[in-house]
């Protein structure tokens, strides 16, 4: 009994949620088969529309994880001019993981002379999440997401330039 209770504690909430959804679908199947069929058709339709986008996102993230590492980030953050802004924008968009894991690297870059504005633009562009784009496109449309993303990128550069002027780096 104690061993079973210990195993039950290890099951996370996501498994309870999945089990509940599966049980609800089984219940709906027996209660209203036509409603179940409509629900499954809707799910299949959504997945068919989103699958190509998911494949593209997965490919882009795989390439980003293979190519971008701390050495590359440090190298390109030191480049002057417009190319630095492009790198900051794309690095922010492609960055993954919890934000607090990026703080030590960003602090190290700041200590090496990277302006606060570039760091702010990097953080600003982290709000553009490639894995979430398929869902956003599905709900809001491609045109809206393109406009929103471009506005966020432009605002990140404006914000970065303002911060570089207001808070000059110490080196």
Share of the chain above pLDDT 90, in %: 30
The reply to whether 157 falls in a domain is yes
Q: Are 128 and 149 in contact (CB under 8 A)?
A: yes
**Per the domain annotation, does 75 fall within a domain?**
yes
- Residue 160 belongs to some domain of the structure: yes
Average pLDDT over residues 117-139: 89
pTM: 0.60
Is residue 25 situated within a structural domain? no
How many domains is the chain partitioned into structurally?
1
Show the domain range for 87: 52-166
- 48-52, 68-72, 113-117, 139-143 — which is least confidently predicted? 68-72
Q: Report the percentage of the chain scoring pLDDT > 70.
A: 85
Nearest Cα to 162, choosing from 116, 123, 108?
116
Cα distance between residue 70 and residue 74, in whole Å? 6
45 within a domain of the structure (yes/no): no
Structural domain contains residue 32: no
Domain membership of residue 43 (yes or no) is no
Four-CA torsion 47, 56, 95, 62, nearest 10 degrees: 110
Angstrom distance (rounded) from CA 96 to CA 155: 21
Nearest to 94 by CA among 116, 76, 114, 108: 76
Q: What is the pLDDT of residue 3?
A: 56
Residues with Cβ within 8 Å of 152's Cβ and at least 6 positions away in sequence, in order, are: 124, 125, 127, 128
CB count within 10 Å of CB 121 equals 27
155, pLDDT greater than 90: yes
Within-domain flag for 19: no
């Amino acid at each position: 009994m104690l061993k079973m209770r210990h195993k039950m504690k290890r099951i996370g909430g996501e498994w309870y949620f999945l089990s509940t959804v599966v049980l609800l679908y089984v219940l709906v199947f027996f209660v209203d088969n036509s409603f179940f069929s409509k629900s499954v058709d809707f799910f299949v339709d959504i997945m068919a529309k989103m699958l190509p986008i998911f494949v593209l996102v997965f490919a882009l993230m795989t390439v980003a994880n293979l190519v971008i590492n701390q050495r590359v980030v440090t190298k390109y953050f030191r480049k002057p001019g417009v190319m630095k802004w492009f790198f900051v924008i794309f690095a922010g968009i492609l960055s993954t993981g919890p934000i607090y894991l990026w703080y030590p690297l960003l602090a190290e870059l700041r200590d090496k002379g990277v302006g606060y504005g570039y760091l702010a633009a990097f953080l600003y562009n982290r709000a553009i999440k490639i894995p979430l784009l398929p869902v956003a496109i599905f709900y809001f449309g491609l045109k809206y997401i393109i406009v929103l993303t471009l506005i966020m990128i432009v605002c990140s550069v404006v914000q970065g330039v303002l911060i570089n002027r207001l808070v000059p780096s110490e080196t």
